[in-house]
Amino acid sequence: MPLGEFDVIARYFSRSCGRSDVLLGVGDDAALLRPPTGQALVAATDTLVEGRHFLPGTPAAAIGHQALAVNLSDLAAMGAEPAWALLSLSMPRVDEHWLAEFASGLYALADTHGVALVGGDTVAGPLVITIEVLGFVPPDLALRRTGARPGDLVFVSGSPGVAAAGLEQLRSGQASFESPDPRVRRFLRAEPRLALGQALRGVATAAMDVSDGLLGDLGKLLVASGVGARIDLERLPVAAELSAHALPERERYLLHGGDDYELLFTLPPAALSRVPELVQAGGCELHCIGAIVAGDQLECRRGGQVVEIKGGGYDHFAR
């Protein structure tokens, strides 16, 4: 007898969480949660659809990781500390092996960041995973997209583009999901930059996470802030994992790749002296790639020359 809906919830998604601010978790009609006084509640949700956000055949543990990571990355970009998550799971049938793997990937990342799964929904349908995350930030310290000003410097964390290279390895069949290739590992298990996001509170003038590609996402930040930017392509950090790729391909991964969960942010010149401390707190490299300018243009330069870059970010409804 395959498990029913309630057995699935009880067996895979009812682990106790150990957070004292969860007054009531999975099992009732809704969760009861106690937000800390004086903090704003930060909420974000993201959906993964098989064939669109992950390749058919992706190991379930990686899907569990990604479904939570993409959401935690949004909290990181707000400077928030994550606390709670809800999971809506639509799946064609009850596959216990799949569920055990999925739950292990999800809970492993949740445990790393002290996140409690407090509720959700379980339905039969195409494989679609929606997670909602909730976290906290002091309201006046939340990182928004709107605060970049001319003269601010544009930074990106870590090594953007590596996950996109990993995705391409998988898509082209050059690597399998089990491959030890660091590009593939990064794509399947990218880590949201939560520590960096919190360290940027009160320091960065604007921030967002790179989910649809560095250039397209920077464009969104610029529109939100009402400014332009000048980016020096030679200052983009080229990770060792990308060094084997020829320049055009490498630049495509760097500028248009998502899935690394890196943070893009702006610092006023006065905050430059704090970069070493941010590197330390964030546990990752930080690279200045350009500067904010007045106007509304995003200008990219290579070797001092302005270059035209085609293609922005990813738009689900674009034709």
Residues in contact with ligand ADP by CB under 6 A are 9, 13, 26-29, 87, 89, 117, 119-122
HSE of 20 in the Cβ direction (CA atoms, 13 Å)?
Answer: 1
Q: Which is nearer to Mg ion, 39 or 90 (CB)?
A: 90
Least distance from ligand ADP to the Cβ atom of residue 112, Å: 18
Q: Which of 5, 7, 111, 121 binds Mg ion (CB under 5 A)?
A: 121
Q: Which does 102 bind (CB under 5 to 8 A by kind): ligand ADP, Mg ion, none?
A: none
Least distance from ligand ADP to the Cβ atom of residue 316, Å: 24
Q: Print the binding letters for residues 137-156 with Mg ion: x by CB under 5 A, - otherwise.
A: --------------------
Question: Is residue 205 within 8 Å of 152, Cβ to Cβ?
Answer: yes
Beta strand 263-267 with 206-209 is: antiparallel
Q: Which is nearer to ligand ADP, 135 or 213 (CB)?
A: 135
Least distance from ligand ADP to the Cβ atom of residue 6, Å: 7
Residues near 229 by beta carbon (within 8 Å), at least 6 away in sequence? 148, 154, 218, 222, 290, 291, 292, 293, 298, 299
Question: Helices 5-12 and 96-112: crossing angle, nearest 10°?
Answer: 40
Tell me the window of 26-34, 49-57, 119-127, 146-154 that interacts with Mg ion (CB under 5 A): 119-127
Q: Which is nearer to Mg ion, 27 or 202 (CB)?
A: 27
Q: Which two tokens stand for residue 288?
A: 């200045």
Q: Which does 117 bind (CB under 5 to 8 A by kind): Mg ion, ligand ADP, none?
A: ligand ADP
- Comparing CA positions, the residue from 182, 168, 188, 200 lying closest to residue 284 is 200
List, in sequence order, the alpha helices (H) in the chain: 5-12, 60-77, 96-112, 162-171, 182-188, 194-199, 214-225, 247-256, 275-282
Q: Which does 119 bind (CB under 5 to 8 A by kind): Mg ion, ligand ADP, none?
A: ligand ADP
Q: Which is nearer to ligand ADP, 122 or 198 (CB)?
A: 122
Least distance from Mg ion to the Cβ atom of residue 128, Å: 15
Q: Which is nearer to ligand ADP, 117 or 148 (CB)?
A: 117
Q: Measuring CA to CA, how many Å separate 21 from each of 12, 17, 60, 118, 274?
A: 22, 10, 29, 11, 33
Q: Which is nearer to Mg ion, 91 or 210 (CB)?
A: 91
Q: Which two tokens stand for residue 314?
A: 């990813």
Binding positions for Mg ion, rule: CB under 5 A: 121
